[in-house]
Chain A
Amino acid sequence: MTNSRSLTRRLILGLGGATLLVWISVPTIAALRLSKVVDDLSDDLLKLTAVFMEPALIDEGKVDSDYIRVPGYTPSFEKYWTVRYSVEVNPRPSPGTPALDGFSQTATDRIYTLKMPDGRILRVAEPLDLRRQSIKNGAALVLVPILVLLPFSIAVWWMVIRRSLAPIKVLQQEIGSRDGCNLSPVGVIDLPAELAPIAASVDRLLERLRTALDRERECAANSAHELRTPIAGSLAQMQRLVAELPQGSAKTRARGIEKALSSLGSRVEKLLQLARAESEIGVAVHAIDLVRAVRLEIEDLGKKPQYAGRLILDVDGCPSLMRKVDVDAFAILLRNLIENALIHGLPGTPATVSVRTEGSIAIANAGPVVPLPDLEEITKRFRRGATGAAGSGLGLHIASMVIKRIGGSLELASPARGRDDGFEAIIRIPP
């Protein structure tokens, strides 16, 4: 309702305004019409009064009745009062009162003048205040109920419009809550006929999107299986061959192939991660404990002989950190940053992973300082700093892509905070 483009607001303002205009116009027109009717009726009555009074005046002495009283009769100037009318016989001419037959009006009275056969003039006057009062009373009869009913009507409009538009709001909330991580059908039942096709279309679209994403995930899983398994078989066979071959050139060559296969495995892993980072991974519906994911990754990496004993986890004061992120996306992000620290850190020195309550996770390693221009470039694809260590040049690029999808930030610092050397990657994920 706060949105000026809200349909409910527009409907209430538009319909309310139009109805209000109609309701104001109706009594106004009625009042004008009433004024005309009252004037006509009053004129007719004024004329009738004069016409019926005329014989009474001719037949003198019969004018005194319940309706016409003669307080003091003088032939030259007589004034008769009725309940409503003032009657003058032989009035004195005055500048504001035309002495003609028929109707005329002064500032205060409506007058009907009748010329009697004996030459006398009968003038019947009605105070205009009486007419105005009649019109006011009539108009009030129409207007007062409208004014009384108006606030109640506005409240009823409001309720009816809100109630009628409630399904739109429900549908809006249902569709609004859908994103890359919640693709369940809208499933809003009892929608009006106008909205049901929209919900059905959205459901069909979500279904297609869900199917597409499932296929993409399945494709990624199948690709992983199809690529990793033959490499694993070849590497294992080559390692068996290395173990069985006697020392010599054949063994040296076999070791070279083993190393190449191992490197191929790492590259396949990075390319699969890159494919995932470029796809749908990111936020999630439910919060996960990032500390648990950090522990799992550290435990897994720590089991690798080349990284054994080189990882330190610092979760001082932060036993858990709940965030709505996709656990696989977060694991890809974290693994790349930790592997980066281990590969490019000084050999034999530890890499520290620190988790803090405000939602930051910092991965720091010892090593030479990375110049600022390099620091700004190393998150680009296949861009590497001045390092001789083995690496694909994709790790930080993947990490920077994933952190964007998660909705967090990645800060790279060199030297690492609180020391003179090294490198530190700090990720911040808002609640």
Chain B
Amino acid sequence: MRRIYPYLLLIPTFVIIVLFIYYPAGSALRLSLFKTSPFGNKTIYVGLRNFQQLMEDPDYLYAVRFTLIYVAVSVSITIFLAFIIAYMLTRGVPGTRLYRTFLFAPYAVSPAIAGTLWTFLLNPVVGHVNYFFMQVFGIQVHWLTSKPYAFYALIFATVWKMLPFDMIFYIASIQDVSLDIIEASTLDGASTMTRVWRIIFPLVSPITFYLVIMNMVTTMFSSFAIVDVMTSGGPGGYTTNMIYKLYLDAFTFQKRGPAAAESMIMFAIMLVVTIIYFRFAERKVHYQ
């Protein structure tokens, strides 16, 4: 009896992941090799033609490029700021608890709401942030409908939303860095800057690595809500990233074959990221 127990315990989890993750993944692969006629009544095997067409589609290539830039910019800004702020939050200055509460708050806010809030703040008529920019830099812009400001607007919302997650992890890992090491470096006369960037930052590199991966996933996928609420991929496709393009092709334009091919490409990217993650994680980026 005891021997079959573990299998029984695993049934609920495995039924769900097979049915709702692995099976769809398999049918995406199959679907990506077929073309469906406009009325959906006939499918023809086309081999890799869907992929080939994507590679020749300037809109798709643009979406890939935009995704790369968007991910790179928002992830680097977030990691940099999160580390600095987390460091300051672990110095034990008075009021830290209150600051933490304020700084963590966006974690509980959904990407869609983050997008809504920033749409409001950047609104040319009623938005406070827009007003601030006007007063300080003298620029009056339609943030969400003009290039390149729509991109900046997405970055504001993304960084604001993502930062608390990173901060929470950095705080935990900076607190784990042995106090002795910090003490020793202080006695050696290392300046604050050296201490932070040469000693603490390398010591928390495993967590940085983990956060970079997690943030890449977030910006590639959860960014859908932010893009949809703020710009709907516009102006003129300017902020259409890969996930938004996938959504448009699959559900607005009903291009099922190409959409499935796009799924497979995103899946391949995830796979590569995963493999890189485990390669590095095994080699232990960290110190011990």
Asked if A and B bind, the verdict is: no
